[in-house]
Amino acid sequence: MAPSDSRSVPRNGLLAALPPEDLARFRRRLELVDLPLRHVLHAPDAPIGAVHFPETSWISLLAMLEGGDAAGVGMIGREGMVGLPLLYGTDQSPFEAMAQMGGNALRLDAAAFRDALEHSPALRALLLRYARAFSTQVSWTAACNGRHLLEQRLTRWMLIAHDRAGGDDFPMTHEFLAMMLGVRRAGVTVAAGALQRAGLIRYDRGRITVSDRRGLEAAACECYGMVRREFRRLLGPEAEG
């Protein structure tokens, strides 16, 4: 697709937070790309050729386990960037990055990204704060999966997805939720049914509608709030965790 319009304000929160002069230095090298559902942005232990700044898509980081199973370790939407290993000077990740919701993103190839980091201290500082916030999300995901009931874990994922969806309705299958939470599909079906009976969500044919956001927040464990507060502390009051 064509490069991003240099006159428009990026929908990605990180790019929008940059000083205009810093963004202008590499804006023309950003490419607006479509990310279909389940598109793999980078595979485990394979070279990362570009970073992606999601705008309407969101991306899940997956730990791919022996035997073909997978578990979600983090989610990235318009608040973040996919390809953090490049920030640290390496070009590989142990995780797979896959589009959990199709949409678009702004792509910057690895060489252009390294050049932008070299010439923009503001970009480097911002991305280091984001990396710190994202590591908090990954850490609390591990704590939540290890200690909390499946219904609480599912509620947390619903809230994270709702923050990034741009609306109350979004695609989400039980199969995908089971993979993200590292559990059997039957368990997700039972937990989602409980949330639906409580009037918090509606689920029909692979789409979820959040009916009661406040109710979901009340039903969630502390993990969701802890991560969101850290995102806002590091990235500003509008940042999503």
Q: What is the pLDDT of residues 126-169, one digit of tens each?
A: 999 999 999 999 999 999 988 999 999 999 999 999 999 889 99
Mean predicted confidence (pLDDT) in 183-195: 93
Q: What is the pTM of this model?
A: 0.93
**pLDDT, tens digit (0-9, with 9 covering 90-100), for 129-139:** 999 999 999 99
What is the token pair recorded at 52?
């992606």
Element (H, E) at 47: none
Q: What is the CA radius of gyration of the chain?
A: 18
Question: Residue 1's pLDDT is what?
Answer: 47
Q: Indicate if the pLDDT at residue 172 is higher than 80.
A: yes
For the cut 80, the answer to whether the pLDDT of residue 4 exceeds it is no
CATH number of the domain located at residue range(s) 149-220 in this protein: 1.10.10.10
The CATH number of 13-128, from 1.20.140.70, 3.40.50.2300, 2.60.40.420, 2.60.120.10, is 2.60.120.10
pLDDT of 105 above 90: yes
Quick one: tokens of 12? Answer: 């990605």
Give me the residue spans of the domains in the chain.
13-128, 149-220
The answer to whether residues 133 and 77 touch, using CB atoms and an 8 Å cutoff, is no
Strand partners, 70: 64
Q: State residue 98's pLDDT score.
A: 96
- Number of alpha carbons in the 13 Å side-chain half-sphere of residue 179: 17
For residue 216, which amino acid is it?
L
Low-confidence winner among 92-101, 173-182, 203-212 (lowest mean pLDDT): 173-182
Band (50; pLDDT cuts 50, 70, 90): very high
Average pLDDT of the chain, as a whole number: 93
Res. 240: pLDDT tops 70: yes
